[in-house]
Structure 1
């Protein structure tokens, strides 16, 4: 088995070197590029949406206030727990909330989607309160939904106590956590459609305009949220898609937030290529099966490993398999067994679950 694994790793690396289109981009040291950028942001992070790879960062795990970029978490929590077509009557508690506002009036009626667009396009703090109360019945109860998202994504540097991002004790995130939450949210169709909208007509006929000016100035920009308070400074989460790559940039406490996000997103697009390393039909390794009609089962990936790499990285990847010594029959196709770890310069880039590629019944004659 060890020889099989070694052989496969060598073949895989050769395949990457053969099919990676070297020459279309310039190989650069992304970490050095980030340092050379003289970022004025207190913290930032750039990740690729689907792989979750951290591309560039500064103080990415520091717990910081994030102002209205909080509403990214609010929006996805509402979308996952409410009906966007439902009509909401604006409660008194949502009227006159300080900060940016849609100027809702008590008793007015809007759909949940109307309020979500007011939340994400105009940054309405009143919309945030109305949505939280309608979804969960109370701010504290809604914050539990928000924290549940961070917990589900296994993030440890985020905690939410309100739906709008106004300053409050114990309300914080990190640039990295917020980027991962945004990547998660952007995989939701309703969320992604809302945040890339330059304008939206409310059910009452009024039109609202998105505050995110990168939607008009940055190629491929498709979201997501601005933010500002005195405590948090200027904050921005931006995403852009070009071809089959989507990168997300978070800057916290950054004066030139639009310029920094645009520069970092362009650097990512100009420096990396999304590459299929291993197809879903490729057996990666075998593992011994005890008590089965077959003595070994092949393991592979459940989906195409589509990762962002520089040319230099693609030529120097190392693959490691984390496997038990054996498994017991019976086995169903698609059972999760072990992991594949992909390294560059002894630094872990990705880990992917390995799955059985076939079913194996018990050997009753054994």
Structure 2
């Protein structure tokens, strides 16, 4: 027997229109392929969630909002998940090592001790321009409490809080310098290194903004696409509008069967729009919409990156990609305010339960 809730979801699944084959996907990897590594990480993640509740999930999200290079973000993410190669973690994995902290030699080297409680790291935090917690809070044995202070509103705080991940990185490099090269860097040198790394990061970002174009070369035609969704039980509405040189050529709208989510409705709207452009014979079209995760999928594919998406829209994505590669279709994200016209058309189509309507704009 099939559960009633599952039955309703299955009935809303729309098959492929372009006859693309079904695909088995492993939802815990970016490319949809199963690997032992992804299985290990999902098990580790579930164990961490059981131990720490929502703390680890919220901190992980905050890490990726940091204004720092990818390698430092990844390093901070590993700290949150207690997967850095510190001595305590090596011992947990079965390696026989001396657990004493490399920097101070006073106690076992846990992640929290090395980054926050060690005599050397505490002195670094006290000298930096960052305002550290008062009282004994900063000496807490809770790694998540210490990280939470700095990761609060990550990506929105101004200097000096952007310095936080660079200090963690500098402490780690000081520790490795002493461990592998038997060279102890001074505390002022470590702080200066963190400040220099952050300055170089800001300068590099500024230089890239000046040198790299902010948008791709424009196509001859632009097709604006949007969907209107009310609930999973009601019909949704979709609309699209084809323009050239800022002049509207043709527009279409319709109501569609109920979708499980607004995201699915957006995917169906884009699929219908691409199929209509194919049917009408238009090539070299740039489709624009405000469902950023959806349009990012096709933007990454055009750059040759391996891309995977939400399993709920995989059929839509495969149909769209199948049509797009034949007609030089491109896809880009735009803000909601640009879609006022098609948003209105989609709402009208949904409310009126309208059939597929196409109108040409003359003159």
TM-score category of the 2 structures, normalised to the smaller one: under 0.3
TM-score (norm 2): 0.25
Higher RCO (CA 8 Å, separation ≥ 6 residues) = 1
Higher share in helix: 2
Higher share in strand: 1
TM-score (norm 1): 0.25
Structure showing greater Rg:
2
